[in-house]
Structure 1
Amino acid sequence: MAMVEERKHRTVLKFLGKLVLWIMLSTSFWYFEEYYKAHRLINNASSALNLFLTASILYSIGRYIMITLYKKRNEHKSVRGNFVLGINRLTAVLNTSTAIIAIMLALGIDPREFVTSLTIVAMAIAVTFREYITNMLSGLFIMFNDQLSVGDRVKIGGYQGRIVDITFSSLLIQDEEDDIVMVPNNLVFTAPMVNFSAHRSSLFYVRFELPLQTAVEVDQLEARIQKTLINHPYLTGDDDLHLKVVEIGKDYVKYKMDMHATSSSNKLHRQLENEILKEVLQFKREYDLDQ
Structure 2
Amino acid sequence: MNKKSITPTINLERKKRIWFLVKAVIFIGALFGIDNFKNQLIDFGVEEHYLKALRFYLYADLWISFIRLGVVFYYQRKHKLSKGVKSNFILGINHIANIIHTFVLIGAILLLFKIDPINLITSLSIVAAAIAILSKDYIANMINGMLIIFSEEVMIGDEIKIGEVKGKVSDITLVNMHIVNDDEDLIYIPNSMVFTSQIFNYTKRAIRKVSFDFDLKNELATDVAAVEKHIIDALSDYHKFIKDDSYVLRIIKINENFTSLKFQFVLHRHSEVREKDIRKAALRHVLKFIGDAKQK
TM-score (structure 2 length as normaliser) = 0.69
How far apart are 1:200 and its partner, in Å? 3.2
Structure 1 residues 165 and 259, CA gap change in structure 2 (3 angstroms): farther
Alignment of 1:1-291 (within 5 A): 4-5=10-11, 7-8=12-13, 10-38=15-43, 42-75=47-80, 82-202=88-208, 225-230=234-239, 232=240, 234-235=242-243, 238-239=246-247, 260-263=266-269, 265=270, 268-269=272-273
Look up the SS of the partner of 1:162 in the other structure.
strand
How far apart are 1:177 and its partner, in Å? 2.3
How far apart are 1:38 and its partner, in Å? 4.0
Following the alignment from structure 1 to structure 2, what is the Cα–Cα distance between the partners of residues 84 and 160?
25
Please list the CA deviations of residues 229-280 of structure 1 after superposition, one character each: whole Å capped at 9, or x if unmatched: 34x3554754559xxxxxxxxxxxxxxx9864222x5x71259959x98xx9
Following the alignment from structure 1 to structure 2, what is the Cα–Cα distance between the partners of residues 227 and 63?
48
Q: RMSD in angstroms over aligned alpha carbons? A: 3.6
1:58 counterpart letter in structure 2: W
- Is the CA contact (8 Å cut-off) linking 1:41 and 1:106 kept in structure 2? no
- Is the CA contact (8 Å cut-off) linking 1:81 and 1:147 kept in structure 2? no
Please list the CA deviations of residues 50-93 of structure 1 after superposition, one character each: whole Å capped at 9, or x if unmatched: 222212221222112211222222228xx996101111111111
Please list the CA deviations of residues 195-249 of structure 1 after superposition, one character each: whole Å capped at 9, or x if unmatched: 11112323579xxxxxxxxxxxxxxx9665323334x3554754559xxxxxxxx
- Is the CA contact (8 Å cut-off) linking 1:51 and 1:102 kept in structure 2? yes
Q: Structure with the greater relative contact order (CA < 8 A, sep ≥ 6): 1 or 2?
A: 2
Following the alignment from structure 1 to structure 2, what is the Cα–Cα distance between the partners of residues 162 and 108?
49
How far apart are 1:133 and its partner, in Å? 0.5
Structure 1 residues 183 and 203, CA gap change in structure 2 (3 angstroms): farther
The aligned length equals 245
- Is the CA contact (8 Å cut-off) linking 1:203 and 1:258 kept in structure 2? yes
Any unmatched runs of 5+ in structure 2? 1-6, 212-229, 250-262, 285-296
How far apart are 1:98 and its partner, in Å? 0.7
For the pair shown, which has the larger CA radius of gyration, 1 or 2?
Answer: 2
- Is the CA contact (8 Å cut-off) linking 1:161 and 1:174 kept in structure 2? yes
TM-score (structure 1 length as normaliser) = 0.70
Structure 1 residues 188 and 237, CA gap change in structure 2 (3 angstroms): farther
2:20 counterpart letter in structure 1: F
Following the alignment from structure 1 to structure 2, what is the Cα–Cα distance between the partners of residues 190 and 197?
20
Any unmatched runs of 5+ in structure 1? 206-220, 242-256, 281-291
2:62 counterpart letter in structure 1: I
